[in-house]
Amino acid sequence: MRPIIVGIDGSQDSEAALRWAAGDARRRGATLVIQYAIHTPVATVPFGGGMMLPPTPELEEYGTQILESAAGMVRDELEADRIRTELVVQPPVLALLSASEKAQLLVLGSRGLGAVSSAFLGSVSTRVAARAACPTVIVRAGQHRHDDGPVVVGVDGSDTGDAALRFAFEEAKLRSTGLEIVFAYHQPATMLPFEHAELAVEPSREDRERAELRLHEIVQRTLGDPPVDMVVRTRVSAVDPADALVAADESASLIVVGSRGRGAFTGMLLGSVSQRVLHNATTPVAVVHSGTSVGIRS
């Protein structure tokens, strides 16, 4: 079974990510790999390219201490033989993307300690979530914790939306909690002049019925008939998709979104919905790609 890998840097956000990852590793019966990256400055070679300086013994010792401390924090959650640590000499984004190739799940804090340290996160977390080879969960320190709340997922009929739904279903099963599936049919702004703004309209009953039918088709195509012992709720909402998901996070244990990536180059950026949910949600957020396998992988 592939491990769950969590990137840490000693910040409060990475501690929150560490504890969340340990809980998920316990539920999945997986090994937890705690990774710390040492990113040394790049030196410029005259008339040549750049080069990364080798880490000093002090940096290596500091990284080792961070990892030992992190492992100690989760020994009450997992057996010692299911906790591994890795000290990696590589830039943070590259280290995490490489880690995602061998993980069933990658877990990161929303931001790290900053450029002065080996800061794993901040803008790094967004860049990694956009390109990771496995689902990525972003955790923020001080977030609301509703471990018994439903897993909430946004769907839109796309490949990434379907992958997000499958991942959310697996997480809900692991947590023995409910699944809430949200389909938002936001009406695009019209080109009416300001003096006719009163004509810019409310969604019709027909719009809602079409949305409900579309949501039913998506669920049937992707999940079939859910188990009778799982509470599955579906909801259509005539608002912006990101707003619909963020509004649900007061009681959710996890929010799941598709990355909406569009190929190797544009895939460096997350879609606008997933970015807004990452920036505004108060619970952990999972970002899933259409090309990634989800669930428990061997």
Q: Which CATH number covers residue 195? A: 3.40.50.620
For the stretch 168-191, pLDDT in tens is: 999 999 999 999 999 988 655 554
User: Are residues 118 and 212 located together in one domain of the fold?
Assistant: no
- Identify the pLDDT of residue 182: 95
User: Are residues 135 and 200 located together in one domain of the fold?
Assistant: no
Domain encompassing residue 199: 151-288
User: Are residues 157 and 131 located together in one domain of the fold?
Assistant: no
Kindly state whether residue 298 falls inside one of the protein's structural domains: no
Q: Is the pLDDT of residue 30 over 70?
A: yes
Among 163-167, 266-270, 274-278, whose mean pLDDT is lowest? 266-270
User: Are residues 57 and 167 located together in one domain of the fold?
Assistant: no
User: Are residues 108 and 200 located together in one domain of the fold?
Assistant: no
- Identify the pLDDT of residue 262: 38
Higher pLDDT, 35 or 11: 35
- Identify the pLDDT of residue 248: 84
Name the pLDDT band for 232 (thresholds 50, 70, 90): very high
Kindly state whether residue 157 falls inside one of the protein's structural domains: yes
SS (H, E, C) the chain: CCCEEEECCCCHHHHHHHHHHHHHHHHHCCCEEEEEEECCCEEECCCCCEEECCCCHHHHHHHHHHHHHHHHHCCCCCCHHHEEEEEEECCHHHHHHHHHCCCCEEEEECCCCCCCCCCCCCHHHHHHHHHCCCCEEEECCCCCCCCCCCEEEECCCCHHHHHHHHHHHHHHHHHCCCEEEEEECCCCCCCCCHHHHHHCCCCCHHHHHHHHHHHHHHHHHHHCCCCCCCCEEEEEECCCHHHHHHHHHHCCCEEEEECCCCCCCHHHCCCHHHHHHHHHCCCCEEEECCCCCCCCCC
Kindly state whether residue 40 falls inside one of the protein's structural domains: yes
Rounded Cα gap, residues 222 and 165, in angstroms: 7
User: Are residues 172 and 124 located together in one domain of the fold?
Assistant: no
- Identify the pLDDT of residue 130: 87
Strand pairing class (254-258; 151-154): parallel
Kindly state whether residue 145 falls inside one of the protein's structural domains: no
User: Are residues 132 and 181 located together in one domain of the fold?
Assistant: no
Per-residue burial over 145-154, b if 16 or more Cβ lie within 10 Å, else e, is: ebeebbbbbb
Report helix angle 12-28 to 159-175, nearest 10.
70
278 and 138 Cβ atoms separated by less than 8 Å: yes
Kindly state whether residue 296 falls inside one of the protein's structural domains: no
User: Are residues 135 and 186 located together in one domain of the fold?
Assistant: no
Number of domains in the chain: 2
- Identify the pLDDT of residue 93: 87
User: Are residues 160 and 204 located together in one domain of the fold?
Assistant: yes
